[in-house]
Structures are given as C-alpha cells and as structure tokens.
Amino acid sequence: MNTQIELADIRAAAERIRGIAHRTPVFTSRTFDSLAGAQVYFKCENFQHGGAFKIRGASNFIFSIPKDQLKRGVVTYSSGNHAQAVAIAAASVGIKATIVMPADAPKSKLEATRGYGAQVVTYDRLTENREAIGKRISEETDATIVPPYDHPLTITGQGTVALELLEEIPDLDALVVCIGAEA
C-alpha cells in the first residue's frame, strides 16, 4: 500500500483518540544507557489499555467509521494485542466486535479479548486463512473490517506514540521501533 501520511493526519488521530488512549510515560535506564553507549528513552506503551500501542490504531479506525456504518459492528483478525484493542474500542462506543483469533493463541489473550466484550471466532492457523474468515463474517454481518496494520487510519493512530515521544523528547538522534509480523 502506497500511502502518504502527513504530520497533520497523526495530530488529527491524536485528537480523535484522546479519550481512550493514555499518554504513556517515557522512562530511562542508566544501566541500558551504559550498555548502549547512548542516552536511551523508552516509550512505555505497556501501560496502555490492552497493554500495547495497538489501542491507538484500532480506536482511531473505529472512531472514524461513519455512525450509520458503525452500528453494524466491526470485525478483525489478530493473535492478541490488536484483538484486545478492537474489543476495547468497540465497547467504548457500544458496538459489537467479532475477532478472528487462532485457536492456539495464548489463553490469556483469548480470555482478555472475550473479557472486553468481543465475540471470538477461532480458526486453525495451519489450515485456514484469517483474512478470508474475517471477510466472510464482514459480508454476512455488514460489519466493518478493522485492519491490524497497513491502513492509513491504523497507521496514523499508531503514529501518535511517536508524536507523544517527540513532544516530550524533541531532540532525538534516532527513533528505534520494534515491528513484527501479525500471525
């Protein structure tokens, strides 16, 4: 996907999610600084709702869905963090969330997602395709698919974490971001 994201888009997302996303702290570690040979700052998204930055993208996407479409609910696919984020954001606006999760996802992630009020549909990740299952559910229910990544609204929501960090520590030499494949 070739998407041009502007700073204004991320600032708009920050306003949109202000009521649900925490402004998380930035911590330092003298030991880590010594080992790295640099001054390092950690943006602690583990203090976020659901324990991860994913609430930022999920809520930005959900809060951007037109009201007439929003009432039909949302569907997504995730192994855990995005699942919980969608469940939390959907509950905050009083809509149904259906989450497609692998049957072998950590039990704590499955239970947490259900605990936030979502309907969880499990699948076998070795023989089934989560995107196809999500698409089928969306077509059957007319629910909106909330992509876990690779969508401008998800990306700009996630980008609010860097915006906050740069507001607090504006003179960074480098920004290192962990990324991983959603299974």
What pLDDT, on a 0 to 100 scale, did the predictor assign at position 2? 54
Instruction: Tell me how crowded residue 149 is: count the other CB atoms within 10 A of its CB.
Output: 15
Q: Provide the pLDDT for residue 114.
A: 98
Query: pLDDT tens for residues 133-170?
Result: 999 999 999 999 999 998 999 999 999 999 999 999 99
Tell which residue, 143, 66, 49, 51, has the closest CA to residue 100: 143
Active site residue 54: yes
Who's near 35: CB < 8 A, 6+ residues apart? none
Which amino acid, 76? T
Tell me, what's the pLDDT at 128?
A: 97
Q: Is 135 a catalytic residue?
A: no
**Domains of the chain (ranges plus CATH)?**
7-21+53-168 (3.40.50.1100)
Q: How confident is the model at residue 178 (pLDDT cuts 50, 70, 90)?
A: confident
Q: Label each residue of 9-54 as H, E or C.
A: HHHHHHHHCCCCCCCCCEECCHHHHHHHCCCCCEECHHHCHHHCCH
Q: What is the pLDDT of residues 7-36, one digit of tens each?
A: 999 999 999 999 999 999 999 999 999 999
> Average pLDDT in the 32-55 region?
95
182 has a pLDDT exceeding 60: no
Instruction: Indicate whether 47 pLDDT > 80.
Output: yes
Q: What percent of the chain has pLDDT over 70?
A: 96
**d(C-alpha 106, C-alpha 111), whole Å:** 9
CB 155 within 8 A of CB 3: yes
Active-site residue (options: 43, 59, 78, 79): 79
Catalytic residue among 43, 54, 109, 138: 54
Provide the pLDDT for residue 180. Answer: 64
Instruction: Give the distance, in angstroms, between the CA of residue 130 and the centroid of all CA atoms in the same chain.
Output: 17
Query: What is the pLDDT at residue 110?
Result: 97
Coil/strand/helix, residue 141: helix
What is the pLDDT, as a whole number, of residue 181? 56
* Residue 176 confidence (pLDDT): 85
56 pLDDT above the threshold of 90: yes
